[in-house]
Amino acid sequence: MNLPGRHLLLLTLGLLLLTGCGAARQTRIHHSQLLSFGTLVDISLWDASPEQIENAERIIHDELHAMHHDWHAWQPGPLTETNQQLRGGEWFVCPPAILPLIVQAKQLYQRSGGLFNPAIGQLVALWGFHSDTLPKGPPPPKEAIASLVARKPGMDAIVIDGQRIRSTNPAVQLDFGAFAKGYAVDRIIEKLIANGIGNAIINAGGDLRAIGRHGDRPWRIGIRNPRGPGVLAGIELSGDESVFTSGDYERFFRYRGKRYHHIIDPRTGYPARGVTSVTVIHDNAATADAAATALFVAGPEEWHPIARRMGIKYVMVVDDKGRIHMNPAMARRIQFESEQKPEVVLSKPL
């Protein structure tokens, strides 16, 4: 997720409907954009009634509101309250908006070998990314990074007993930035389905989940080029699939010619190296989101075993030399857009 980049500036705008559905019924495709609490969401619906369109926009608005209020890592709300309590180490009743995320995040943390680690909120804050504006550098002192890494914050330190939780490690501070958007997209899709909507794409800044089809053909989407404008590749989606990308271009600063971005390797405390973007396709959006972040951290050498552990079947890793690492099933689906085909490194099947 890229919460803060487009975030606060637009907060006061609340819900802004940018485009309407004028010709929607004639073409049977409805496109609109919602700018809600700083997150721009593209909605595509096939064959939806005006009532369903209205419901969809309300559902999306409500979910994004919940996401920004409940799960914000630095503005006061349920997550900052939870973090304060976790520091104390005592049992407390976890806010209901937070508990299910902790449960799911603990599983994803385990399956990612700790590379998806939403317990490293203090490290993300130390790098200056818990702010509505991007840091300018310099990077934090290496001693401060090393001492936080040595305290080993991890999701396994959070113990759950019914509605109550506690942390056995006071260095644990939650930051759901790597999977809250996926979690919210899953909830939106569930509610759309409950409203009888069977053919839709919910695209939040390039991260999306698609259900059904675009009439008699599959949905087609583009994956952004991490270095430059435009689209790197296109892909057709079938049935119910989520496509999530983590990139070093989303939130970063430059200092003395070096790029420092927001995806932190919990093992070193530094921004993960070797990768510019990772795209994952999976049925569940929260898992796809967490996996994209974890595989970014794993890098070009280690992504394959972690993807396997997380049950991911389609991965594309763009490394810092511009080479594209993919498993064969992903390679069969990817259609490169530019004339010049990039160098592709095929992995073993997942």
Under rule CB under 6 A, residue 246 binds ligand AMP? yes
Please, which residues have CB within 8 angstroms of residue 22's CB and are 6 or more apart in sequence? Answer: none
Residue 289 engages Mg ion in binding (rule: CB under 5 A): yes
Q: What is the DSSP letter of 116?
A: S
Residue of this chain nearest to ligand AMP (CB atom):
177
Of 52 and 277, which has the nearer Cβ to Mg ion? Answer: 277
Q: Which of 57, 63, 175, 248 binds ligand AMP (CB under 6 A)?
A: 175
Q: Helix, strand, or coil here: 88?
A: helix
Print burial letters for 252-266: b (CB count within 10 Å at least 16), e (below 16). Answer: bbeeeeeebbbbbbb
Nearer to Mg ion, 53 or 208 (CB): 208
The site map against ligand AMP for 65-104 (x = CB under 6 A) is ----------------------------------------
Q: By rule CB under 6 A, what count of residues binds ligand AMP? A: 23
Q: Which does 124 bind (CB under 5 to 8 A by kind): ligand AMP, Mg ion, none?
A: ligand AMP
Binding test (CB under 6 A) with ligand AMP, winner from 47, 236, 250, 320: 250
Least distance (Å) from Mg ion to the CB of residue 43?
Answer: 21
Q: Does 149 participate in binding ligand AMP (rule CB under 6 A)?
A: no
**8 Å CB contact between 219 and 236:** yes
Q: How far apart are CA 259 and CA 323, in angstroms?
A: 19
Among 98, 221, 232, 292, binds Mg ion (CB under 5 A): 292
Ranges of beta strands (E only) in the chain are 15-17, 29-36, 39-46, 92-93, 158-161, 164-167, 200-204, 207-211, 219-224, 231-237, 240-247, 252-255, 258-261, 275-282, 314-319, 324-326, 335-336, 344-346
What span, in angstroms and rounded, lies between the C-alpha atoms of 229 and 328? 26
Out of 32, 82, 173, 293, the only residue in the binding site for Mg ion (CB under 5 A) is 293
Q: Determine which residue in the list 297, 307, 316, 330 makes contact with ligand AMP, applying CB under 6 A.
A: 297
Neighbours of 270 (CB within 10 A): 16
Residue 236 or 320 with smaller CB distance to ligand AMP:
320
Position of minimal CB gap to Mg ion: 293
Find out whether 37 and 70 touch, Cβ atoms under 8 Å.
no
The bridge status of strand 219-224 relative to strand 258-261 is unpaired
| Site pattern 159..198 for Mg ion (x: CB under 5 A) | -------------------x--------------------
Q: Decide the pairing of beta strands 207-211 and 200-204.
A: antiparallel
Token pair recorded at residue 75: 């503005």
Residues found near ligand AMP in the complex (CB under 6 A):
1-2, 115-118, 120, 124, 129, 175, 177-178, 246, 250-251, 262-264, 266, 289, 292-293, 297
